[in-house]
Amino acid sequence: MKHLTRITFNPEVMGGKPCIRGLRVTVGMVVGLVASGYSTAEILKQYPYLEEEDIREALSYAAWRVEEIELPLTR
């Protein structure tokens, strides 16, 4: 997985959810818009402070996260 520079985590922004460049725009929101059929152009028109690369990184992060395996901690 390449290093993602646009995905940020801050417990004081959106409860620590993965966000785009520290903005109050979560990866989940962006992925949800894409899944709902919105094009990149439509998303950028609705959120002019986002950039095309933000959308690509949100999708990359989501794809990586879905493939990640979580194992319970053992003692």
Ordered by start, the domain boundaries in the chain are 7-63
What top-level class would CATH report for the domain 7-63? mainly alpha
* Token duo for residue 9: 């985590």
- The 8-class DSSP code of residue 71 comes to -
**Rounded to an integer, what distance in angstroms lies between the CA atom of residue 22 and that of residue 19?**
6
Confidence at residue 71, expressed as pLDDT on a 0 to 100 scale:
78
Q: What pLDDT does 1 receive? A: 56
pLDDT at 74: 82
Task: Give the C-alpha separation, 45 to 60, whole Å.
Answer: 21
pLDDT at 62: 95
The C-alpha atoms of residue 7 and residue 26 are separated, in whole angstroms, by 9
Kindly give the confidence (pLDDT) of every residue in the chain, 75 residues in length, as a single tens digit, with 9 standing for 90 and above: 568 999 999 999 999 999 999 999 999 999 999 999 999 999 999 999 999 999 999 999 999 998 877 778 887
For residue 75, the model assigns a pLDDT of: 75
